[in-house]
């Protein structure tokens, strides 16, 4: 079925560059590029508000809608979270890790009225080049997981290049590519999947392994990820409880049928990579001028489908009866057409707004956020609609969307429940009203990066960056598993489980962090003669929990020191161990 | 690995009850004290357990348990006679010798033909609902049976391979403990001296307590509970049950040198240890193409491990206390597609159960000549679940309260498949 091509001549051994090397190359490259942007930084004395987003009308829009909803459901929001807590959560959500002690203190010391907007702008890489790379890396990781899952491209025989996907996305986020363009590129991409291959286009990795079995997965994932519509069940039958019909699935599917993944082989018969192309599609009746798709209804009846978008717009509507259903790429490039239709659809902006909202607030306006069909109406339909329009009007600017949400009132609320909002508890099945910040566990990637920030455990070994990437990959992979099903299903055993707890209690990373080794944070703190005993304890608390210890906690730590006969190093290692293992460290609050 | 002994000047019981008491968790200190059984008396053998052999991806049951030889949908395999009153696939000859213990339900008929939804539905008896997370088999049975085994340190729900569904509203205390089939449990070893670990735990307990006290929601409390359970594992001899390589070579050979074989062997060891629920995962059933060639390679592994498990449980007198369930999220289309494969099919398929009070050796229900319709009373996920509860002596009147206060009947009020017990 898949056309194969022997491309070993194109992939000579000398050319095979390790993908992680490319990664590090990109990292330094992006650093350079951002320096250029950062030179546009405003000079002191002129607080120019391109980044004073706190007064942006979109922030006010969110707050207005939220207040209205709180009034209607008789809720009083929790008070605002402290600056420390807000600073911690915004670091975790925007760049994927907790703040360092220095970053935390800088924020707390900032006396300006728009300090929150300044911090967001900094983390977005707009005013401080150092963060541009972190921002891009974090979101590339988030979107790699969305587009190909946590296990995509990790198997030996996968045609997906995880590094290729990440490299591509990193570049998009670094440039703050408009979301519509990003989506269009992912849908229409052609080229090679791996960074080391000629004609590399990392965007191809989204679709390359989803085209098998008549592109069923390409269809289902495109609808789910970009439109928030779960249509996978309609592959076989009309949906039992929503409006999607089986023919709609196959009409959407027909857009992908010119796409082909050509396997590339190297030194043997195992395919190692792939190239995504568009090819004339003859249709199942073998008439390229009217290239059709068959599907079988439950009653055994076979029907025919031609390309039409979920709103019913067909390519015949757009290009006339002559060309509309042609399978010839020179007549109509079906994926290009789909890209345009996707971008025009209101589902697209609502779906990304919902996804982003869930990223920052823990829950979307629908649960799950990528299932927004008519059977699952959103909790705040007007706000969702309005934010979607604003996002569209902003030119699909993801950084703007992040800024609006991060600077909104619901995002700034404390996570404590009060007497006046006890009923607002999604963990017991209530519809989220966002009257407080819901506790949620760090994702595996956030936990890993946060552990490194809090402990500098990675400074202990003089590992190369390649080795560090490999260490990170191994650490993350211990918690994920693919089901091996056609929908790319996978599971994680990460959140709140015994294996996770064992990993924190006894694992390598925390062990390295709590041993006195030159380079790690514990060593630096203990050997810092400028710090008093008390300041040392304080520093450990700030590094792990972004807060100073209470008086009791200082007392407890000192007691432990006494108990150890004055072996401060050992006692403080134990304090640090407890901090890293605590719910307060591992949860976002 | 360092096995730690009690810190000097403290009994082991004292040590752990201290930890439990300090950590402000829902598990009472008493449970801890009771569970410290370095040299606990051998567990009583009359606890009830269940083993779910999960066939992820949706196995082609028409080629295994409900064969249609001669029909255009029948495929190339031949049926063979068994030790029970039922015929099964020629590629399951060893299971055939155990069929007097097993019952085939040929009239499973469900509506969820998507992997995620089907997996959820078959594990919980409920269709997915955005507002409630339902507990899976493992969580329900762990919860109902854990009182029988108060000495158990090993988590009451073990998932070998990790494809199971979670505890839903029953909470993280009933979450699956996921291990790989080699029984290696990562990070179980500690080189920290017991006295020092104790002090660390005290420090940690007060941090946990403070944060929980700030009223930020159930995740904070859940973390503390899991911490307690983890601690119990660190100190328990029972963890040996995971070590399949301690089993004599002959026994390992009987189960076969495969991940699934080791998983089944581990399941038997865990059940012997008192674990109420073990799920063993075998994937690779999503055979949209080339289904029969795939099965020809795959079935011998299934045959060997499954038959060894049943025979072993029987020989050890465990089978009457242990219910075994063999199923996936759905079956596969009777029609063989253009790629010589079969696609997802939920409308008519088979599951296999045995052990407990189930009468083996029979096939229940009937499908049409081409296998595409159930022609007898159809059974759904909740009916199967209710039957498993019955076979284990769990009352079907058991009702839980979901987190939002709604009463939820065990097994979604499913109807017991009476023929299983006739």
User: Which residues on A lie below 8 Å from B207 (Cβ)?
Assistant: 578-579, 582-584
Given CB atoms, is A467 within the 8 Å cutoff of chain B?
no
Confidence of residue A498 (pLDDT cuts 50, 70, 90): confident
Burial of A468 (0-12, 13-18, 19+ CB in 10 A): middle
| Predicted confidence (pLDDT) per residue in A274-306, tens digit | 999 999 999 999 999 999 999 887 777 889 999
Confidence of residue A403 (pLDDT cuts 50, 70, 90): very high
User: Which residue from B115, B217, B344 is facing A483, i.e. has the nearest CB?
Assistant: B115
Given CB atoms, is A481 within the 8 Å cutoff of chain B?
yes
B233 and A498 in contact by Cβ < 8 A?
yes
B350's tokens: 């088979």
Given CB atoms, is A438 within the 8 Å cutoff of chain B?
yes
| Predicted confidence (pLDDT) per residue in A116-126, tens digit | 999 999 999 99
A357's tokens: 């909202």
> d(Cα A380, Cα A372) in Å, to the nearest integer?
12
User: Which residue from A236, A240, A582 is facing B204, i.e. has the nearest CB?
Assistant: A582
User: Which residues on B lie below 8 Å from A501 (Cβ)?
Assistant: 226-227, 230
B187 and A499 in contact by Cβ < 8 A?
yes
> d(Cα A497, Cα A139) in Å, to the nearest integer?
26
Helix axes A57-72, A398-406, angle to 10 degrees: 50
A583 and B188 in contact by Cβ < 8 A?
no
B136's tokens: 């899976």
| Predicted confidence (pLDDT) per residue in A54-71, tens digit | 678 999 999 999 999 999
B115 and A485 in contact by Cβ < 8 A?
yes
Given CB atoms, is A498 within the 8 Å cutoff of chain B?
yes
pLDDT above 70: residue A263: yes
> d(Cα A563, Cα A555) in Å, to the nearest integer?
12
User: Which residue from A233, A416, A491 is facing B215, i.e. has the nearest CB?
Assistant: A416
The reported pLDDT for the residue numbered A34 is 31
pTM of this structure: 0.82
> d(Cα A474, Cα A578) in Å, to the nearest integer?
24
Residues near B3 by beta carbon (within 8 Å), at least 6 away in sequence:
none
Which of 520-579 (A) contact B at CB < 8 A? 550, 553, 556, 560, 563, 570, 574-575, 577-579
A498 and B230 in contact by Cβ < 8 A?
yes
B314's tokens: 């029987």
Least confident of A316-325, A400-409, B224-233: B224-233
B219 and A366 in contact by Cβ < 8 A?
no
The reported pLDDT for the residue numbered B43 is 45
Confidence of residue A46 (pLDDT cuts 50, 70, 90): very low
| Positions in chain B whose pLDDT score sits under 70 | 1-46
The reported pLDDT for the residue numbered B145 is 93
Burial of A135 (0-12, 13-18, 19+ CB in 10 A): buried
Are A160 and A193 in contact, with CB atoms under 8 Å apart?
A: yes
| Predicted confidence (pLDDT) per residue in B285-313, tens digit | 999 999 999 999 999 999 999 999 999 99
Which of A426, A441, A578 to probe by mutation at the B interface, max B CB count within 10 Å?
A: A578
Mean pLDDT (chain A) is: 86
Per DSSP bridges, beta strands A302-305 and A293-296 are antiparallel
The reported pLDDT for the residue numbered A287 is 93
> d(Cα B421, Cα B356) in Å, to the nearest integer?
10
A216's tokens: 């069923």
Beta strands in B131-276 (DSSP E): 157-160, 177-179
Helix axes A179-188, A346-361, angle to 10 degrees: 110
**Ramachandran angles phi, psi of B307, nearest 5°:** -65, -40
Write the ipTM. 0.81
């Amino acid at each position: 079925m898949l056309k194969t091509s022997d491309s070993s001549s194109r992939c000579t051994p000398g050319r095979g560059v390790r993908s992680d090397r490319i990664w590090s190359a990109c990292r330094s490259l992006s650093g350079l590029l951002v320096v250029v942007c950062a030179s546009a930084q405003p000079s002191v004395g002129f607080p120019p508000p391109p980044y004073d987003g706190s007064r942006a009308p979109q922030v006010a829009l969110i707050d207005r809608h939220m207040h209205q909803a709180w009034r209607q459901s008789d809720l009083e929001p929790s008070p605002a979270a402290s600056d420390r807590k807000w600073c911690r959560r915004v670091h975790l959500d925007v760049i994927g890790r907790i703040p360092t002690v220095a970053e935390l203190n800088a924020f707390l010391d900032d006396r300006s009225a728009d300090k929150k907007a300044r911090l967001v702008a900094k983390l977005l890489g707009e005013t401080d080049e150092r963060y541009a790379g972190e921002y891009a890396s974090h979101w590339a990781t988030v979107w790699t997981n969305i587009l190909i899952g946590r296990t995509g491209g990790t198997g030996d025989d996968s045609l997906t290049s995880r590094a290729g996907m990440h490299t591509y996305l990193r570049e998009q986020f670094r440039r703050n590519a408009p979301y519509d363009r990003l989506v269009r590129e992912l849908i229409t991409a052609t080229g090679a999947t791996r960074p080391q291959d000629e004609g590399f286009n990392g965007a191809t990795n989204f679709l390359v392994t989803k085209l098998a079995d008549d592109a069923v997965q390409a269809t289902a994932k495109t609808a789910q990820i970009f439109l928030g519509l779960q249509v996978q069940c309609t592959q076989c039958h009309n949906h039992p409880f929503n409006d999607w019909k089986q023919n709609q699935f196959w009409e959407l599917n027909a857009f992908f049928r010119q796409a082909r993944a050509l396997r590339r082989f190297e030194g043997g018969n195992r395919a190692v990579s792939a190239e995504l192309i568009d090819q004339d599609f003859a249709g199942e009746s073998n008439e390229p001028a009217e290239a059709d798709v068959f599907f079988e209804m439950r009653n055994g009846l076979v029907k025919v489908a031609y390309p039409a978008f979920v709103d019913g717009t067909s390519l015949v509507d757009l290009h006339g009866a002559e060309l509309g259903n042609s399978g010839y790429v020179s007549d109509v490039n079906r994926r290009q057409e789909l890209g345009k239709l996707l971008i025009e659809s209101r589902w697209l902006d609502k779906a990304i707004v919902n996804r982003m909202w869930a990223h920052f607030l823990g829950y979307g306006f629908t649960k799950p956020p990528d299932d927004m069909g008519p059977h699952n109406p959103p909790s705040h339909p007007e706000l969702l609609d309005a934010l979607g329009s604003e996002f569209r009007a902003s030119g699909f600017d993801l950084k703007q969307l992040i800024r609006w949400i991060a600077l909104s009132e619901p995002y700034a609320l404390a996570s404590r429940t009060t007497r006046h909002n006890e009923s607002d508890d999604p963990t017991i099945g209530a519809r989220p009203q966002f009257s407080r910040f819901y506790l949620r566990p760090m994702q595996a990637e956030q936990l890993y990066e946060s552990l490194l920030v809090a402990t500098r455990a990675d400074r202990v070994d003089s590992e190369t960056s390649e080795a560090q990437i490999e260490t990170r990959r191994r650490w993350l992979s211990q918690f994920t598993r693919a089901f091996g099903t056609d929908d790319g299903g996978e599971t994680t055993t990460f959140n709140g489980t015994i294996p996770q707890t064992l990993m924190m209690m006894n694992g390598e990373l925390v062990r390295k962090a709590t041993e006195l080794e030159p380079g790690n944070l514990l060593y630096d703190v203990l050997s810092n003669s400028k710090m008093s005993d008390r300041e040392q304890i304080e520093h450990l608390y700030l590094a792990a929990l972004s807060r100073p210890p209470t008086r009791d906690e200082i007392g407890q730590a000192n007691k432990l020191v006494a108990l150890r006969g004055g072996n401060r190093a050992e006692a403080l290692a134990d304090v640090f161990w407890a901090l890293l293992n605590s719910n307060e460290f591992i949860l976002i609050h | 690995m360092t096995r730690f002994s009690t810190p000097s000047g403290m009994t082991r019981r004292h040590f752990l009850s201290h930890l439990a008491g300090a950590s402000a968790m829902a598990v009472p200190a008493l449970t801890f004290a009771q569970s410290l059984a370095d040299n606990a008396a051998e567990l009583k053998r009359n606890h009830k357990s269940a083993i779910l052999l999960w066939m992820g991806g949706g196995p082609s049951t028409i080629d295994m348990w409900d064969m249609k030889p001669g029909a255009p949908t029948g495929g190339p395999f031949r049926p063979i006679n068994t030790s029970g009153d039922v015929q099964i696939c020629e590629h399951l000859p060893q299971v055939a010798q155990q069929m007097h213990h097993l019952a085939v339900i040929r009239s499973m008929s469900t509506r969820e033909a998507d992997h995620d939804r089907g997996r959820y539905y078959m594990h919980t008896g409920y269709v997915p609902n955005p507002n409630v997370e339902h507990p899976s088999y493992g969580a329900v049975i762990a919860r109902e049976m854990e009182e029988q085994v108060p000495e158990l340190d090993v988590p009451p729900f073990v998932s070998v391979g990790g494809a199971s569904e979670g505890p839903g509203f029953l909470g993280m205390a009933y979450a699956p403990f996921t291990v790989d089939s080699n029984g290696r449990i990562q990070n179980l070893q500690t080189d920290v001296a017991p006295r020092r670990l104790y002090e660390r735990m005290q420090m940690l307990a007060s941090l946990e307590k403070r944060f929980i006290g700030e009223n930020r929601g159930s995740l904070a409390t859940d973390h503390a509970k899991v911490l307690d359970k983890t601690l119990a594992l660190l100190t328990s001899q029972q963890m040996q049950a995971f070590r399949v390589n301690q089993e004599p070579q002959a026994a390992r050979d009987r189960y076969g040198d495969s991940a699934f074989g080791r998983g089944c062997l581990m399941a038997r060891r865990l059940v012997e240890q008192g674990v109420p629920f073990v799920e063993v995962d075998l994937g690779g059933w999503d055979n949209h193409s080339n289904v029969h060639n795939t099965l020809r390679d795959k079935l011998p592994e299934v045959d060997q491990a499954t038959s060894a498990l049943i025979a072993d449980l029987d020989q050890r007198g465990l089978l009457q206390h242990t219910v075994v369930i063999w199923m996936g999220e759905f079956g596969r289309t009777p029609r063989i597609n253009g790629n010589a494969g079969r696609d997802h099919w939920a409308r008519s398929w088979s599951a296999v159960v045995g052990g407990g009070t189930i009468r083996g050796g029979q096939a229940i229900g009937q499908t049409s000549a081409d296998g595409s319709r159930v022609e007898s009373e159809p059974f759904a996920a909740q009916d199967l679940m209710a039957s498993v509860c019955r076979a284990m002596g769990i009352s079907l009147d058991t009702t839980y309260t979901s987190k939002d206060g709604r009463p939820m009947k065990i097994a979604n009020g499913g109807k017991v498949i009476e023929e299983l017990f006739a």
